[in-house]
Amino acid sequence: MDFNLTEDRQMLADTLGRFLSEQYPVEHRIKVAYEAPYHDPALWDQLVELGALYALAPEEAGGMGGSGFDVSVVFEALGKALCPEPVLGALMASRILAAAGADQEGLLTGASKYAVAITEIDAPYELDQIATVAMAKGDEFALSGRKSTVYGGQAADAILVAAKYGDGLGVFAVNASDANVTGYGMMDGGGAAEVLLDDTPATLILAEAEAALEDAVNAGIVALCAEAVGAMDVAHATTVDYLKQRKQFGVPIGKFQVLQHRAVDMLTAIEQARSITIKAAAELGGEDASRYSSMAKNMIGRAARLVAEESIQMHGGIAMTWEYAVSHYAKRLIMLDAQLGDTDYHLSQVMKDYAA
C-alpha–C-alpha distance, residues 347 and 314, integer Å: 29
pLDDT at 248: 80
> Does 1 map to a domain?
no
Shared domain for 237 and 317, answered yes or no, is yes
Residue 161's SS3 state is strand
> Does 127 map to a domain?
yes
Mean pLDDT lowest among 6-15, 142-151, 171-180, 203-212: 6-15
What's the structural domain count of the chain?
A: 3
Q: Cis link prior to 58 (omega < 30° from 0)? A: no
Of 46, 80, 108, the last residue of a domain is 108
Shared domain for 179 and 48, answered yes or no, is no
Query: Nearest to residue 208, comparing CAs of 165, 155, 254, 251?
Result: 165
Confidence band for 189, pLDDT divided at 50, 70 and 90: very high
Query: Nearest to residue 217, comparing CAs of 105, 294, 137, 275?
Result: 294
Of 153, 177, 208, the last residue of a domain is 208
**CATH number for position 194:** 2.40.110.10
Q: Does the pLDDT value for residue 268 go beyond 80?
A: yes
> Does 325 map to a domain?
yes
Of 208, 236, 258, the last residue of a domain is 208
pLDDT at 118: 97
pLDDT at 253: 80
Shared domain for 218 and 345, answered yes or no, is yes
Shared domain for 304 and 217, answered yes or no, is yes
pLDDT at 2: 60
Shared domain for 228 and 335, answered yes or no, is yes
Confidence band for 4, pLDDT divided at 50, 70 and 90: confident
Q: At what angle do helices 210-245 and 87-100 cross, to 10 degrees?
A: 150
User: Model confidence over 61-71: pLDDT tens digits?
Assistant: 888 889 999 99
> Does 267 map to a domain?
yes
| DSSP 8-state symbol, 123 | B
Confidence band for 341, pLDDT divided at 50, 70 and 90: very high
Residue 138's SS3 state is coil
Q: Which residue has the higher pLDDT, 65 or 152?
A: 152
Shared domain for 204 and 126, answered yes or no, is yes
Average pLDDT, integer, range 153-168: 96
- Quick check: 107 and 61 in contact, CB under 8 A? no
Shared domain for 55 and 146, answered yes or no, is no
Average pLDDT, the chain: 93
Q: What proportion of the chain, given as a percentage, has pLDDT over 90?
A: 84
**CATH number for position 276:** 1.20.140.10
Shared domain for 92 and 135, answered yes or no, is no
Q: What is the pTM of this model?
A: 0.95
Shared domain for 159 and 223, answered yes or no, is no
**CATH number for position 17:** 1.10.540.10
> Does 237 map to a domain?
yes
Q: Does the pLDDT value for residue 349 go beyond 60?
A: yes
Query: Nearest to residue 236, comparing CAs of 308, 301, 320?
Result: 308
pLDDT at 354: 75
Length of the chain as a residue count? 356
Average pLDDT, integer, range 237-252: 88
C-alpha–C-alpha distance, residues 22 and 44, integer Å: 14
> Does 2 map to a domain?
no
The residue segments making up the domain with residue 292 are 212-355
Q: Does the pLDDT value for residue 1 go beyond 70?
A: no
Query: Nearest to residue 309, comparing CAs of 257, 252, 265?
Result: 265
Shared domain for 87 and 120, answered yes or no, is no
> Does 56 map to a domain?
yes
Shared domain for 229 and 326, answered yes or no, is yes
User: Model confidence over 67-124: pLDDT tens digits?
Assistant: 999 999 999 999 999 999 999 999 999 999 999 999 999 999 999 999 999 999 998 9
Shared domain for 242 and 328, answered yes or no, is yes
Average pLDDT, integer, range 280-308: 96
